[in-house]
């Protein structure tokens, strides 16, 4: 081949490769950006929403929540939480009395020696040690005790003359 033909062949190949590269690059870029997959921003299929439109839509729905409504909901929630016994109460249990728990109550014996009261063979859950304490067994002080079912409780150890001081979360009764 002559020198001239080699030059033209090289030039033609370079132009073909460069053109093909540009064509492929534009196609891949369009695909990567999601052309055809996503609607164009601001189009009918993807509208732009303004603040005034949102304000108008809220006004048509009744204007949203008012401060009084929010305060009323907060007060109602507080009342429900306090009625469910989520606050901790210090209870003094005199000798001869029994502190009976309702379902799900929690106790912590702070002062005095306590024993378990249970009308059946099941006991109470000592969450601190991960053990079950059965009827008549001592309850360790400063341990979190869970009453999965009501009707069980704690009473002062009959061998002592003093009562108990117990922290209680949940509902209970003193008998």
DSSP state of 46: S
Joined tokens for residue 135 = 């009827």
Residue 24 forms part of a structural domain: no
Q: Please check whether residues 106 and 70 belong to one and the same domain.
A: no
pLDDT at 85: 53
pLDDT in tens, 120-166: 877 888 888 888 888 888 888 888 888 887 788 888 888 888 888 88
Q: Please check whether residues 55 and 122 belong to one and the same domain.
A: no
Burial of 164 from C-beta contacts in 10 A (0-12 / 13-18 / 19+): buried
Residue 37 forms part of a structural domain: no
pLDDT in tens, 28-67: 655 555 555 677 766 777 777 788 877 777 777 766 666 7
Long-range contacts of 118-121 (CB under 8 A, 24+ apart): 118/151, 118/152, 119/151, 119/152
Residue 162 forms part of a structural domain: yes
Residue with tokens 């064509």: 23
pLDDT at 84: 56
Residue 2 forms part of a structural domain: no
Q: Which of 83, 115, 139 is the last residue of a domain?
A: 83
Residue with tokens 């929010």: 70
- Tally of domains within the chain: 2
Q: Please check whether residues 125 and 77 belong to one and the same domain.
A: no
């Amino acid at each position: 081949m002559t020198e001239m033909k080699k030059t033209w062949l090289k030039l033609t190949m370079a132009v073909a490769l460069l053109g093909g590269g540009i064509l492929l690059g534009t196609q891949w870029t369009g695909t990567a950006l999601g052309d055809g997959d996503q609607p164009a921003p601001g189009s009918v299929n993807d509208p732009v929403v303004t603040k005034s439109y949102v304000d108008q839509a809220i006004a048509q729905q009744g204007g949203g929540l008012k401060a009084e409504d929010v305060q009323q909901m907060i007060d109602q929630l507080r009342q429900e939480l306090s009625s469910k016994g989520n606050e901790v109460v210090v209870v003094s249990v005199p000798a001869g009395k029994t502190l009976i728990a309702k379902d799900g109550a929690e106790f912590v014996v702070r002062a005095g020696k306590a024993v378990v009261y249970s009308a059946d063979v099941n006991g109470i859950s000592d969450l601190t040690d991960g053990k079950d304490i059965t009827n008549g067994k001592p309850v360790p002080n400063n341990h979190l005790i869970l009453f999965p079912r009501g009707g069980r409780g704690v009473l002062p150890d009959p061998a002592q003359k003093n009562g108990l001081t117990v922290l209680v979360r949940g509902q209970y009764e003193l008998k």
